[in-house]
Chains A and B, each alone.
Chain A
Amino acid sequence: DGGITQSPKYLFRKEGQNVTLSCEQNLNHDAMYWYRQDPGQGLRLIYYSQIVNDFQKGDIAEGYSVSREKKESFPLTVTSAQKNPTAFYLCASSKGTGNYGYTFGSGTRLTVV
């Protein structure tokens, strides 16, 4: 079955460390997205990519970095520059941008310890 897989499900980070969240899809979708979810704030866009080797900043890109070397993969690195990284991170993909519904992964909960 096609789908989108995020790993790990839970991640703990010490202050000052970089961590990378994995996102893989086998839906043959062109576009991929990273959202951050905080209680009461809905979903906020971090980065998105419409095509391999290209990506764009979203509304809250500071302290994050991404790469899109393969169509199937869109990893997110949370750097030490992100001051408040504790959150639930969601990866999504779609056939393209605009009027195509997202398929979401099951999320990664990142906690700074």
Chain B
Amino acid sequence: GENVEQHPSTLSVQEGDSAVIKCTYSDSASNYFPWYKQELGKGPQLIIDIRSNVGEKKDQRIAVTLNKTAKHFSLHITETQPEDSAVYFCAASIWTGNQFYFGTGTSLTVIP
């Protein structure tokens, strides 16, 4: 099955700086890559996703890049704010598959 690895497990940045979280996947058939943000005591929320026919996608301060050849994708958050502090999960799935495979999460702390 698919194996998704996520790094780093913890990340601290100063407010206003950028944060980058990286994920790799093993199954070249994976073609959908969502990112989720989980605040303490709550369920994860989808913040951005990318499909394999696109190399980059942006939504205001958040962007995701995908390198299919290297089988890795990354989340970029610019101009970080304290409310960005949360755990972020990457995931991968196959169009014909039945589930997402999640990374182990990155705990992001934005220091005011």
* A residues apposed to B, CB below 8 Å: 6, 33, 40-43, 45, 48, 50, 56, 58, 90, 92, 97-99, 101-107
Are A33 and B99 in contact (CB-based, < 8 A)?
yes
- Cβ of B94 within 8 Å of any chain A Cβ, yes or no, is yes
Are A106 and B42 in contact (CB-based, < 8 A)?
yes
Are B98 and A102 in contact (CB-based, < 8 A)?
no
Are B43 and A98 in contact (CB-based, < 8 A)?
no
- Cβ of B78 within 8 Å of any chain A Cβ, yes or no, is no
- 8 example contacts (A-B, Cβ-Cβ < 8 A) are as follows A42-B6, A42-B103, A43-B44, A97-B97, A97-B98, A101-B49, A106-B41, A107-B41
Q: A50-B98, A58-B99, A107-B41 are in contact. Are A101 and B104 (CB under 8 A)?
A: no
Chain A residue contacts of B31, Cβ below 8 A = 99
Chain B residue contacts of A41, Cβ below 8 A = 104
Closest chain-B Cβ to A14's Cβ sits at a distance in Å of 24
Which 3 residue pairs are nearest across A and B when measured between Cβ atoms? A104-B43, A99-B32, A42-B104
Could you say which of A40, A56, A107 contacts B98, with CB atoms under 8 Å apart?
A: A56
Closest chain-B Cβ to A33's Cβ sits at a distance in Å of 7
By beta carbon, the residue of chain A nearest B104 is A42
Binary contact readout B70-112 vs A (1 if CB under 8 angstroms, 0 otherwise)? 0000000000000000000100011111111011110000000
By beta carbon, the residue of chain B nearest A33 is B99
- Cβ of B46 within 8 Å of any chain A Cβ, yes or no, is yes
Complex formed: what's the CA distance from A42 to B41 in Å? 14
Are A105 and B43 in contact (CB-based, < 8 A)?
yes
Are B94 and A98 in contact (CB-based, < 8 A)?
yes
Closest chain-A Cβ to B41's Cβ sits at a distance in Å of 7
Are A99 and B93 in contact (CB-based, < 8 A)?
yes
Chain B residue contacts of A33, Cβ below 8 A = 99
